Structure 1
Amino acid sequence: MTKATTTETFSIRRPPDYPDLEFVLGQSSRRTSMRHLHDAYRFGIVESGQWSSFYRGVHYDVRPEHLQIAQPGETSRCEFPRATAYAFRTVSIPIEAMRELWLSGQAGGSGEIVLADHLLASRPLATHFARVHQALMGQRSPLEVSALLQELVRVLRQWAAPNDIGPSSEADAPSALAFARDFLAAHPERNVTLRELSDLTQLSGFHLTRLFRRHFGLPPHAFQNHCRVQKAKALLAGGMPQSAIASELGFADQSHFIRTFGRQVGMTPLSYRKGLFGARTLSKNVQYAIAGSGLERSSTFLPKAREPHMNRAISAAAVLGTTLAIGPAAAGAFSVERVTFQSGGVQIVGDLYLPEEVGQEGPVPAVIVTGAWMTIKEQMPAIYAREMASRGIAALAFDFRSWGESGGEPRSVEDPVAKSEDIVAAAEFLAGHPEIRADAIGGLGVCASAAYMVHAAVHSGVIKSLGFVAPGLSTPEIIETNVGGAEAVAALIETSRAAAAELEETGRNTLVPAASLTDHRAIMFGVPYYTEPDRGLVPEWDNTFNPISWEAWLGFDPQPFAPLLRQPLFVVHSEAAAIPQGTHQFIAAMESEAGQLWLEGVEQFDFYDRPGPVTVASDALARHFAATLQ
């Protein structure tokens, strides 16, 4: 079984002086969320698209003219049209803050603010909410935040149902149930059994579960998962790795954590952390002006006309004429250690190349080496890993999930976000390795994986420096042109969805050749390197591609991450290689300078294994990493 591909981009703001307030701006194609409990007042609008909400036993169709309201202590579940993207804004206000705002300027009044309506149908109200929300997403002083919230609540009061002040819904809960609730909330990391709760409350398991659901909206196990997710948000904001959070909070494994978080929050943990780190550009179809979020196209983020830090050009004749051997004979000696680690609940298999200096001088810097799309560690990653190790820098080449020796089903899926998660997991693995300096870990991406490396670096504080070889820093426009236009893109996406539906309904997953000289179904028909046994057609590579991949791969855009990148970057490329215009655009949008080495007349596949370009690129990148991973 597999899920349809989900794309999502979020910006999340928690004002420093009001850490319990949360403002979210997002776009997603996630299809459903599990029933989840609201522990704060939540207000939201859908700006494009629509969804269905199940709240207090009633089905609602939520549209752009609606303001949606959820009461603390209530549960809800949302469903969305199949594979349809939607954009939304939400504000979550804690109970005490809401009470203070609601009663501001009124005499008397206490207890719970009861908002009877789930949907308020008013285009002016939704528009006003959007305007206030946009202002709240910016960098505001505490007084400005308070004023904006008061303005929001003032408008809400004009539309709220009468008799809006009522007794707390939890006041009627029996003390035994309140004790069980508080016990679960205080111990999110414990795998509490129903028998244990039954003993604590002196209620039978059946009776306890029925009463707990009646009073709190969820059965005990779901309530504990809700508490775990709330705690996970704080840990994600603090930078704790997902694998550590899963262990800390008692999830079965990282996969269980990611799945539970996504269903409750409506986004993956990685997307949530990304949203906290900084806003992300949404698709061209949904344009937002996000004040203070770092996305407005002000002069700060416009492409800059400037001289690169290092922009040398070397002729193809000089480069291709170099014939140094690749491997141990090229320079220093090294050893190779077979390693495994977990990513997304899947075992990842890799080769760690350790220079001889490890045993003599202690821990050394290390880089994660990743290759072109549809490739495995024995192809270009092994070549560059050997080059780095021979120059005194440890290197990890590994198989992404569903590729090569690593686990993961379905197989041969080119999922940029999943691959970026694997890179983050690889960095965390290296940081815990006794022979590696945890403060000196970099990433070396070749071709398409350079884009995945950018995504990983923006999310990971472990990755300190980046180096790219012939990077595939594409754009939607470049991809559309390369695959044959908008209709071709739409056809590939439909192929992806059909393959996902077939797998879900029948369990069958038909793979196609990745490269071939004779089979026209191949994704790379007649392409060199991949079809040459003495080059990329290595025995370990099964040469397959999963059509399910198309929607995720076509929808991935690394360009919005350029202004967010904080790690030093060095790029080796050629105008004769693939999509150099994407690299120029990416570097122009960066906030810091990038080192660049442009080789004249060197084609894309020359960078993969030709001794001359590989040696020149490796020399340049080794110097870069030596300087930035000190």
Structure 2
Amino acid sequence: MSLSSRRTFLQLATVGGLMMMQGGTARASQTGGSVPFRFRSGGDPVIGALHLPAGQPKAAVVLCGAWTAVKEQAAGLYARALAERGYAALAFDHRYFGESGGNPRQLESPQAKVEDVRSAVTALLAHQATRGLPVMGVGLCAGGGYMAKAVAQDDRIRAFAGVAGAYSDAAELRARMPDLDRLIARGVAARERFERTGTSETIPAVGLSGGDVAMPFAEAHDYYGRRAAHSNYVNGFAVQSYAEVLSWDAIGYAPAIRVPVLVVHSNQAAMPHLARRFLAEVRGRKSELWLTSTNHVDFYDNPKLIAAAANAIAAHFSASWP
């Protein structure tokens, strides 16, 4: 199927997702609920929730979310939406966050999150509810870039979908961010201090007052601080994260991906030009769905966007695996 045909197919599929909406709220579909899902990654315990469909799952899906996020936030909403569409979908707290183990707390480590995804795949393939099923990957925001590396390096993941993905380009970031080296050096110093003393320097992940905040954006604060506030979420960001996230290059993994890829994005979300570049770099089967959002974070909890994206993802996965 040509790229233009795939666009048409996904646009038609999206209509089905939007028809599930009543008064701006997703109509509840019958699912099998969710069950606790535990595994280990890097020697640390990882805690998740496996969202199950009412009947036999079509496939298993592992989700990877945004910076500092936990399973009760966007990943959990998308997991539930995919369960409504027939998939067994796993949302989990990555190491260093939420209920999962690991130190330092609130460490945003791209490589650790990639390793967590691969450990989750191993666990899904062994679990009684998902054993023998094909495994698919979904990445949200930064998780889109993290999942891209996992998919490029792990052929057990049979298809990939990125929603409002942050497909970072390290070279472009360096050109646009004059204080990049200072922040990376600060991260390295914080990491070395933690290794010497066991003490981790942490700053707020989100905030409205400016200053020393990892994500000083009003839309991020409105989401994490209000709409998605949860007892499992900590508004914190380990400073040593800067040493990893600011040198992370997700877009470079696109050419190595050999499974079908779907990019769901909007021109109002972050870095739409990088989403287009990422898709252009993918060598295999690929498709795209462009929606209209208020902003980037709108994709995290807007029921209409979640329904449209989940419907397209379900159609993409069904077409990717017999």
Is the TM value for this pair above 0.5?
yes
Distance in 1, Cα, partners of 2:24 & 2:317:
21
Q: Which has more helix, going by share of residues?
A: 2
- Of residues 343, 356, 373, the one that matches 2:54 is 356
Report how far residue 388 of structure 1 moved. 0.5
Q: CA 1:365–1:601 in structure 2 vs 1: closer, same or farther (change >3 Å)?
A: closer
Whether the aligned pair in 1 keeps the contact of 2:60 and 2:133 (CA below 8 Å) is no
RMSD: 2.3
Distance in 1, Cα, partners of 2:321 & 2:131:
9
Rg larger for: 1
Whether the aligned pair in 1 keeps the contact of 2:263 and 2:279 (CA below 8 Å) is no
Per-residue CA deviations over 1:70-98 (Å, capped at 9, x if unaligned) read xxxxxxxxxxxxxxxxxxxxxxxxxxxxx
Does residue 492 (structure 1) correspond to residue 183 (structure 2)? The answer is yes
Name the residue aligned to 1:333: 31
Name the residue aligned to 2:128: 434
Name the residue aligned to 1:92: none
Name the residue aligned to 2:14: none
Name the residue aligned to 2:41: 343
Distance in 2, Cα, partners of 1:600 & 1:469:
13
TM-score (norm 1): 0.47
Distance in 1, Cα, partners of 2:184 & 2:217:
23
Report how far residue 564 of structure 1 moved. 1.1
Whether the aligned pair in 2 keeps the contact of 1:447 and 1:471 (CA below 8 Å) is yes
Does residue 582 (structure 1) correspond to residue 274 (structure 2)? The answer is yes
Distance in 2, Cα, partners of 1:308 & 1:556:
31
SS of residue paired to 1:311: helix
Whether the aligned pair in 1 keeps the contact of 2:96 and 2:105 (CA below 8 Å) is yes
Distance in 2, Cα, partners of 1:571 & 1:372:
16
Report how far residue 592 of structure 1 moved. 1.6
Report how far residue 554 of structure 1 moved. 1.3
Whether the aligned pair in 2 keeps the contact of 1:332 and 1:392 (CA below 8 Å) is no
Distance in 2, Cα, partners of 1:339 & 1:442:
17
Whichever residue aligns with residue 127 of structure 2, its letter is H
Per-residue CA deviations over 1:307-363 (Å, capped at 9, x if unaligned) read 55533698xxx97x974534xx522222111111011111111000111103xxxx5
Does residue 456 (structure 1) correspond to residue 156 (structure 2)? The answer is no
Whichever residue aligns with residue 72 of structure 2, its letter is E
Does residue 414 (structure 1) correspond to residue 114 (structure 2)? The answer is no
Report how far residue 626 of structure 1 moved. 2.2
Greater RCO between the two (CA within 8 Å, min separation 6)? 2
Whether the aligned pair in 1 keeps the contact of 2:31 and 2:54 (CA below 8 Å) is yes
Whether the aligned pair in 2 keeps the contact of 1:414 and 1:553 (CA below 8 Å) is yes
Q: CA 1:593–1:334 in structure 2 vs 1: closer, same or farther (change >3 Å)?
A: same
Whether the aligned pair in 1 keeps the contact of 2:208 and 2:221 (CA below 8 Å) is no
Distance in 2, Cα, partners of 1:341 & 1:469:
25
Whether the aligned pair in 2 keeps the contact of 1:368 and 1:444 (CA below 8 Å) is yes
Distance in 1, Cα, partners of 2:206 & 2:278:
29
Whichever residue aligns with residue 35 of structure 2, its letter is E
Does residue 469 (structure 1) correspond to residue 163 (structure 2)? The answer is yes
Q: CA 1:571–1:602 in structure 2 vs 1: closer, same or farther (change >3 Å)?
A: farther
Whichever residue aligns with residue 69 of structure 2, its letter is T
Whichever residue aligns with residue 473 of structure 1, its letter is Y
**In the TM superposition, what are the counterparts of 1:61-460 in structure 2 within 5 Å?**
308=4, 310-311=6-7, 323-326=23-26, 329-358=27-56, 364-460=58-154
Report how far residue 438 of structure 1 moved. 2.9
Name the residue aligned to 1:270: none
- Of residues 549, 553, 558, the one that matches 2:250 is 558
Does residue 527 (structure 1) correspond to residue 227 (structure 2)? The answer is no
Distance in 1, Cα, partners of 2:263 & 2:5:
11
Distance in 1, Cα, partners of 2:216 & 2:59:
39
Q: CA 1:408–1:475 in structure 2 vs 1: closer, same or farther (change >3 Å)?
A: same
Name the residue aligned to 2:200: 509
Whether the aligned pair in 1 keeps the contact of 2:220 and 2:297 (CA below 8 Å) is yes
SS of residue paired to 1:372: coil
SS of residue paired to 2:136: strand
Give the fraction of aligned pairs with identical amino acids, expressed as a percent.
33
Whether the aligned pair in 1 keeps the contact of 2:136 and 2:317 (CA below 8 Å) is yes
Whether the aligned pair in 2 keeps the contact of 1:439 and 1:464 (CA below 8 Å) is no
Distance in 1, Cα, partners of 2:243 & 2:5:
36
Q: CA 1:341–1:589 in structure 2 vs 1: closer, same or farther (change >3 Å)?
A: same
TM-score (norm 2): 0.90
Whichever residue aligns with residue 244 of structure 2, its letter is A
Q: CA 1:560–1:404 in structure 2 vs 1: closer, same or farther (change >3 Å)?
A: same
Aligned residues: 312
Distance in 2, Cα, partners of 1:580 & 1:370:
19
Distance in 1, Cα, partners of 2:226 & 2:245:
28
Whether the aligned pair in 2 keeps the contact of 1:497 and 1:548 (CA below 8 Å) is yes
**In the TM superposition, what are the counterparts of 1:53-64 in structure 2 within 5 Å?**
none
Does residue 548 (structure 1) correspond to residue 244 (structure 2)? The answer is no
Q: CA 1:488–1:308 in structure 2 vs 1: closer, same or farther (change >3 Å)?
A: farther
Q: Unaligned regions of 5+ residues in structure 1, if any? A: 1-305
Distance in 2, Cα, partners of 1:530 & 1:401:
23
Name the residue aligned to 1:4: none
Q: CA 1:554–1:529 in structure 2 vs 1: closer, same or farther (change >3 Å)?
A: closer
Q: Unaligned regions of 5+ residues in structure 2, if any? A: 12-16
Distance in 2, Cα, partners of 1:457 & 1:566:
8
Does residue 608 (structure 1) correspond to residue 300 (structure 2)? The answer is yes
Whether the aligned pair in 2 keeps the contact of 1:516 and 1:524 (CA below 8 Å) is yes
Distance in 2, Cα, partners of 1:534 & 1:503:
31
Whether the aligned pair in 2 keeps the contact of 1:349 and 1:399 (CA below 8 Å) is yes
Whichever residue aligns with residue 355 of structure 1, its letter is P
- Of residues 298, 301, 316, the one that matches 1:624 is 316
